Chain A
Amino acid sequence: MSGDDPLASVLAIYGLATDCFRIAQRAIANRPVRLEGTVFRGMRRASVEKRIALTRAELDALVVVGLWAVFERHLREYLRAKGRSVRTARPRVVARALHHHTDREMEYWKADDVLDIFKGIVDPSLIGNAKQIKDYRDWVAHRNPRRPSPTKTDPTSAYTVLQQILQRVTTSERRATTRRPSPAR
């Protein structure tokens, strides 16, 4: 797995963006601001403030979508790397075909099934939390206002859950490679 905390950059961008929103709202509230060349051109101050506030709320949901995308990609890449060991099995021709097949199909595995693979090293309740984040991500992405909301999350909580899972996977990998049993004589 590359990088100690691949989700950190998403959270850092989120922190920067929320500060930008705050600065924009302050600028609008405290003095006249040039709005030419922006989507706010010609709008009243109250409308500008409302639009910024709505976009700010939208940002939280989109950041969770972004965190999930990075998280899922890392888990799939980790499994893809693990799957390469199949290539060295015998007979080689079957092993290579098997690897080719699983490598191709892996992209289509359901996210819940991918998460379940890690239940042996990650607390099942944390895996459950990750599945809830996935459901929330789907709800945000599909935007069906008639559908009641699933279990909700915010960027900081989602980061906490997903980062702990990646950390456990990385720790387990390091320990497994350093404590590999010596070959039989």
Chain B
Amino acid sequence: MMDETNRQELIRDFRQHVNTLYHSVREWLDSPNLSAKAGSVHLNEEAVGRYEVPLLSILAHGRQIAELRPVGLSIVGARGRVDLVGTFDSIPLLYLLQGGGAITSTVSAGEKVLDRSSRPLFHGVQRSGWYWIEDKKVGVARLLDRSLFQEVLARVSDYEWR
């Protein structure tokens, strides 16, 4: 495990990203039928140990239809993950940094470099934020905004926006 200062910093950043996400989601629940309820969850990761982080339940007519459940801050290719878990499905939301983690590849013959190219791990990351890597369009990251949130909430819960 890392030193305490780094650990606290990582946890603080992750909580901040999660709270930003929840703040946006509360704004996007702009239907009188929908509401949100705050909670918390304890996570235990090799990188940072045990810590507490908020979760958010989404309710329709007072009944829970989905939950934004933090998974961790130590995530392959990302700086955090929160799953949107609904009655019918679950999708991971990743916190990605601008550029999406550039990858440089080199082709060489002996000492001679034949080709060097650089490209992002995930395409479409114009700025840091919460993204959905759609399973049917692999490698393409879609920034979570009001319209995408409505789409993914419908996907996991069958909720019909009117």
Interface residues of A (CB under 8 A from B): 11, 14-15, 18, 21-22, 25-26, 29, 49, 53, 56-57, 60, 120-123, 125-126, 129, 132-133, 136, 147-161, 163-164, 168, 171-172, 175-176, 179, 181
Contact = CB atoms under 8 A, between A and B. Distances in A.
B109 A179 contact: yes
A41 to B, nearest CB: 22
B135 to A, nearest CB: 5
A164 B109 contact: no
Contacts of A159: 138
Contact of B46 (A57, A133, A149, A175): A149
Given A133-B76, A157-B76, A160-B133, A123 B108 contact: no
Interface string B102-115: 01111111000011
Quick one: which of B94, B104, B105, B134 has the most chain A CB within 10 A? Answer: B105
B49 A157 contact: no
Given A56-B90, A123-B104, 9 more contacts: A21-B88, A26-B88, A29-B158, A120-B106, A123-B103, A149-B44, A149-B46, A156-B135, A168-B105
A179 B90 contact: no
B4 to A, nearest CB: 16
A21 B89 contact: yes
B107 A172 contact: yes
A126 B102 CA distance: 9
Q: Which DSSP category, helix, strand, loop or mixed, fits chain B's interface?
A: strand
Interface stretch (B16-24, B29-37, B67-75, B144-152): B67-75
B99 interface: no
Query: Helix, strand, loop or mixed for chain A's interface?
Result: helix
A154 B85 CA distance: 14
B138 to A, nearest CB: 6
A18 B91 CA distance: 10
Contacts of B47: 151
B78 interface: yes
Contacts of B50: 148
Given A18-B135, A148-B44, A175-B115, A158 B76 contact: yes
Nearest to A132: B76
B76 A151 contact: yes
Contacts of B104: 123
A174 to B, nearest CB: 10
